[in-house]
Amino acid sequence: MYSSWTQAMLFPAIWATAWYTLAHISPVGYLTSWSPVSGSPAYDWLVPVAGSPIRDWLAAAWAVVISQLGETWYMGEETPEEAPLVDHEPLVSTTSSTVNSRLKGTLALGTVLLALTAPSYVWQGSNLGLPRPVIASDATPLTVGCVLPQHNQYKRHQLTFENFLTETTKLAAAHILLWPEGAVSFADEDERENALEKVRRAITSPNQRVGVSFEEFYTDSVDPNGRRGPLRRTGLALVSKANETQMLYFKRNLVPIAESFRLQKSDNRPPLYTFDLNLPKWTSGPAVRPISLTASICLDFAMPDPFADLSASSDSPQLILGPARTWDLAVGNAMWEQAKQRAMELDSLVLWCDGGEGGLSGIAGQGLHEVVQVGEGSWIRTVGVEYPANGHKTLYAMIRGSGATIGFMWLLVIGGSSGRLLGIVPGFGNLPRNLRRLFLGWRESRRTQALSRDQEPNLLTFDN
């Protein structure tokens, strides 16, 4: 039979695996997940270690502990008066010993869960403490912002490229500016390049970078004659005063129906771009410091492991650009929470700019959690970025996703049943053997109960 530890660990492993699998299958990713993505700061330090599945595992593990303790308290132990009338050879240990054995596993799991909260009190990681000071010897002041023009100000129901460009020039003090998802639309790639050239000319500082999110029509490379008609996609281009586009990324996951009918998804992996930021002379330390960026677009953030495809040899990005456009405040808040999770997994910052009606915009990660703006209205904010940059990736980033986390959860289950983590016998292995024993015990118990009912004396006899 399974050990008490395995019995306690089995449900959390099943629960985490089920939701992780569902997130991969679902077109909206983690938005279908039951487990909360916020409200458990004591366990936040585990997210950059194990990824988001650890939250599902923790929720299920606490459910096991609470339910088992509640069952033991409410049901108690079996009294002698409750013993069965038919005396037969027990197939398993007595109820009392079974309850005590199961309780040991539950208490052990509860102790582990409480112990996992200790690092949040003794280890002040960047995601657990306060935001890094802007002016400090170990920080690089970086000014970021969202370009969110107000419709009333420009007297237009549909904002144009010129409106966004004008708003961008008003925020010249920012180092990095981001337009919301699909801010402008281009008829083809040539029109896009001409528009990006106008953005380059509008940038006055070599320190400034502007992330332009757009929708464009394009011709499929496998259909150069355009027999399928023009295709449409959502992208993000990062430009500066330089003649070349520093970063180009296209959305990989589309909202069902709302986007999937009119847009094409991409299969390109998130880019990683590093540029040198020139600081004022009064800044302590080197005057030129590298800043690394990556990007994803809206629903991409709700998918499991969206940044697992980053090059294994690359450093961890310091800032993630996240243009978005949601259609409801509740959806916007859910996507904001997902963006925070992705930043926490990489121990990075995310600049989130939601251009939807009532959308949430802000910067999160490394001690920052608050929304800066709800709805329309451009803004900028200066944050402190760690210096020198910690090139070491989080454990989650090094293992390139949460698949290894799921595997480790099941190793804990198997280890409890076999007595050793890798104790899998070639062929059937210990886990199938224990499953077979469990099934045979259940079948024998059912047979014994049936025999007991057949042997009960008839108290009343009716003659015809």
Please write the tens of the pLDDT for every residue from 314-340.
678 999 999 999 988 999 999 999 999
- Cβ neighbors of 391 (< 8 A, separation 6 or more) are 315, 316
Instruction: Flag whether pLDDT at 95 surpasses 80.
Output: no
DSSP helix, strand, coil percent of the chain (3-state; round to 5):
40, 20, 45
List the structure tokens of 200. Answer: 């380059």
According to the model, what pLDDT value does residue 139 have? 85
According to the model, what pLDDT value does residue 85 have? 52
Mean pLDDT of 27-32: 92
According to the model, what pLDDT value does residue 435 have? 52
According to the model, what pLDDT value does residue 38 have? 74
Please write the tens of the pLDDT for every residue from 131-154.
888 877 788 999 999 999 998 898
**Three-class SS of residue 8?**
helix
Query: If pLDDT is split at 50, 70 and 90, which confidence band does 464 have?
Result: very low
Count CB neighbours of 206 within 10 A: 13
Q: 123 with 45: CB under 8 angstroms?
A: yes
Q: Which residue has the higher pLDDT, 462 or 215?
A: 215
Question: Do β-strands 288-295 and 272-278 pair in parallel, antiparallel, or remain unpaired?
Answer: antiparallel
Q: Where are the alpha helices (DSSP H) in 288-328?
A: none
Q: Which domains does the chain have, with CATH numbers?
A: 4-79+93-123+403-445 (no CATH), 139-398 (3.60.110.10)
Instruction: Flag whether pLDDT at 406 surpasses 90.
Output: yes
Please write the tens of the pLDDT for every residue from 246-276.
999 999 999 998 898 899 999 998 999 999 9
DSSP characters over 121-184 = HH---TTTSPPPPSSSTTEEEEEEEE----HHHHT-SS--HHHHHHHHHTTTT-SEEEPPTT-E
- Helices and strands in the chain, H and E counts: 12, 13
According to the model, what pLDDT value does residue 272 have? 92
According to the model, what pLDDT value does residue 462 have? 47
Please write the tens of the pLDDT for every residue from 35-57.
777 767 889 889 999 999 999 99
The strand pairing partners of 351, in sequence order, are: 321, 363
Mean pLDDT of 459-464: 47
